């Protein structure tokens, strides 16, 4: 593996993701949601901090945010911050190399500011 991809895991082909639709993957035991918006890839934790449901990949996309399909909590795709309160989804660094998406995951960072 090249130095530029150190710490990154190969997830899927770039073409596998559909524009404005989420998909979920397990990477090193972390449940992540990937989104493609305007050709950019965003990787967030797939577990909504509200009821700990792994459904963020099913959320709908609006103004650079993903909205949880269960009760509508919204999170910024870039930094995972919740729109109205202090909750946050972990976000992961993404690289696209030779048509494949690579993500750098890390263990859950607990956020008790709910
Ligand atoms: S489970 Fe996501 S908003 Fe309730």
Digit-coded pLDDT (tens) for 62-109: 999 999 999 999 999 999 999 777 899 999 999 999 999 999 998 765
Residues comprising the chain, all counted:
114
What is the distance in A from the centroid of ligand 1 to the CA of 49? 7
Quick: pLDDT tens for 26-52. 999 999 999 999 999 999 999 999 999
Do the Cβ atoms of 81 and 75 come closer than 8 Å?
Answer: yes
Position 112 pLDDT exceeds 70: no
* DSSP 8-state class, residue 110: P
Ligand 1 nearest-atom number relative to CA 51: 1
* pLDDT at site 41: 98
Q: How far away, in angstroms, is 74 Cα from ligand 1 center?
A: 9
Q: What angle do CA 72, 61, 41 make, to 5 degrees?
A: 130
Centre of ligand 1 from the C-alpha of residue 59, in Å = 10
Q: Is the pLDDT of residue 110 over 60?
A: no
**CATH number for the segment(s) 3-104:** 2.102.10.10
Domain ranges of the chain: 3-104
- For atom 3 of ligand 1, the residue with the nearest CA is 71
């Amino acid at each position: 593996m090249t130095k530029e991809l150190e710490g990154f895991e190969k997830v899927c082909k770039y073409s596998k993701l559909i524009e404005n639709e989420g998909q979920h993957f397990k990477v090193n035991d972390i449940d992540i949601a990937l989104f493609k918006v305007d050709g950019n890839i965003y990787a967030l934790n797939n577990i909504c901090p509200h009821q700990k449901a792994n459904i963020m990949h099913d959320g709908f996309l609006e103004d650079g945010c993903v909205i949880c399909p269960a009760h509508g909590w919204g999170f910024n795709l870039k930094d995972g911050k919740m729109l109205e309160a202090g909750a946050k989804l972990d976000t992961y660094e993404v690289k696209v190399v030779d048509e494949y998406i690579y993500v750098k995951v890390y263990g859950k960072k607990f956020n008790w500011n709910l």
